[in-house]
Structure 1
């Protein structure tokens, strides 16, 4: 004879609460196939198998409504799992970014041995302001890759790169103002330094490079005003000098 489980027995065996099984019954997700004379729920083998399917899909993060549609054959499982996988990928990437940011804060704390509330308020403002712009152009996976690379290289490396940009941009501006020929060896050397610094950012990844170029093109005036360049004239000079290198 088929074994039947009372609601309390099934709840204990499955590690659930009776309330959860009652809810599954009310929404039509896992309904008992039989009842006692007094109306108490009795679950059979088919009910237990369906409960397993529900819990397995729930473990994947699918909502109850989607689970019901999948099990009833109304919606194929593959696209749902694909969307959920993509969502998980985004969450993983966001956590990678957060971890890298926390590592940066920890490194700063260990260097200064001190941090007060104004330090954290400044950090919050800096991170949120940058993120609002950057998120428009870079995917979560790209942001995670950039954050992890910065963490691996360390703050000293990031500081050196920033200093190199601060030194290179005025040299390029001087060449532009002097009307230098972009095809000369001196101009090509400036282009080589420029492209080398850019590669430190995108690491040869064409997706990162293209996202960077789009962000720069759309925010050129702000970048020049707030961060000191580059100007359209400088970019054109470097473009022509770099073309002459090839």
Structure 2
């Protein structure tokens, strides 16, 4: 039976093989660092073998941290040669980088959870569905705050499936009516179109729970993403037509309130 060599981390010095086994850095890499003058051992044995000290290990840790931050070996070497080099700054930079990685990971997890919910009822979603869902999640995050998105989700979950189907049917009928009047050339100021605009606003306010910031965010989203609106049955032309009707309706209501 071959006994495994036990290496104490409390040694005052370490040979290159010992340091390699302790750190996981190959002997070849350590030799290379020595050859380019990046990390030379503090001493040597009588037979010429490299001996690394505790200060060498501290410097090795700094090298690995800087490499992880994306610096090239020649850049790291130049840093060490500078009189104003601050090892504490390296640690600070690495912590900032890790914080950013954590933030990105959390955001990615949040997006994956949303995808999971989006396709919870879909047996075999297509690649196109996944792409559209990803685009929707990313785009919506640009316009809606986390608080607004949470509020909309809670409101959505309040509706039973049959209620949501009825609301969707009514909304599609409203879009169809707007589309028909637009194609006929009916003015957005027309009383019937104004009545449609009132129903549209009531539906939006009901779902947004009267939160004008959510309503504005939704308007900004559909204004800047015409393809998303089109997928919901609303072309750019129809969106602009409905918007004119809503503005006209709002102005009319304002006039009625002041008279």
1:65-214 alignment to 2 at 5 Å?
65=72, 68=76, 72=80, 73=85, 77=90, 82=96, 85-105=99-119, 107-108=120-121, 115=123, 119-120=124-125, 122=126, 124-129=127-132, 131-132=134-135, 135=138, 138-139=141-142, 160=165, 162-163=168-169, 165-170=171-176, 177=186, 179-180=190-191, 188=198, 190-197=200-207, 199=208, 210=217, 212-214=218-220
TM-score (norm 1): 0.60
Structure-2 change in CA distance of 1:189 and 1:100 (3 Å):
closer
Q: How many residues align?
A: 224
Structure-2 change in CA distance of 1:104 and 1:147 (3 Å):
farther
1:46 to 41, 55, 59: 55
2-structure distance, mates of 1:6, 1:30:
14
TM-score (norm 2): 0.58
Structure 1: 5+ residue stretches without partners: 110-114
* Higher relative contact order structure (alpha carbons within 8 Å, sequence separation ≥ 6): 1
Larger radius of gyration, structure 1 or 2?
A: 2
1-structure distance, mates of 2:31, 2:58:
17
State the match for 2:246 in structure 1. Answer: 238
Q: Is the 8 A contact 1:191 1:241 kept in 2?
A: no
RMSD: 5.0
2:18 to 2, 6, 9: 9
Q: Is the 8 A contact 2:15 2:50 kept in 1?
A: yes
Which deviations, in whole Å up to 9, do the C-alpha atoms of 1:133-182 show, x marking residues without a partner? 77567449969x95997599669779656555324434666788481288
Shift of 1:98: 1.7
1-structure distance, mates of 2:64, 2:15:
18
Q: Is the 8 A contact 1:6 1:43 kept in 2?
A: yes
2-structure distance, mates of 1:140, 1:24:
49
Structure 2: 5+ residue stretches without partners: 1-10
